[in-house]
Amino acid sequence: MNPASALVALALGFGVALAPPGAALPPGNLELCARWREAHGAEKATLANHLGAINGLTKNQRLAEAQPGDTQSLYRTADLQRLCRTP
């Protein structure tokens, strides 16, 4: 990742962290969050990884990559819960 991309990702991450719960979510996030709340196992991990990636959330382990069939998310559960809270 080049320095300019890193700064953009960092700024987006701060924007998500500072935004009020459920506010200004990118299109489709509300649907993905609803599906994530109801999902289990590999489906829940896949949805969590997608939400984490498109919203610049913090990974549990730096540089970790998702593998097909993973049942554990790469992203912190607390961050996903905060992202998916509704007002």
> In this structure, what token pair is assigned to residue 40?
């289990």
Domain coverage including residue 49: 3-84
Query: What is the CA angle 74-79-80, rounded to 5?
Result: 70
Domain count for the chain: 1
CA distance 66 to 30: 22
pLDDT in tens, 59-81: 988 888 888 888 899 999 999 99
- Region 13-25: what's the mean pLDDT? 51
Backbone phi, psi, residue 59, to 5°:
-80, 155
Three-state DSSP class for residue 82: helix
74 near 64, Cβ under 8 Å? yes
CB-CB contact of 37 with 62 (8 Å): no
Amino acid 2: pLDDT:
57
Percent of the chain whose pLDDT exceeds 70: 67
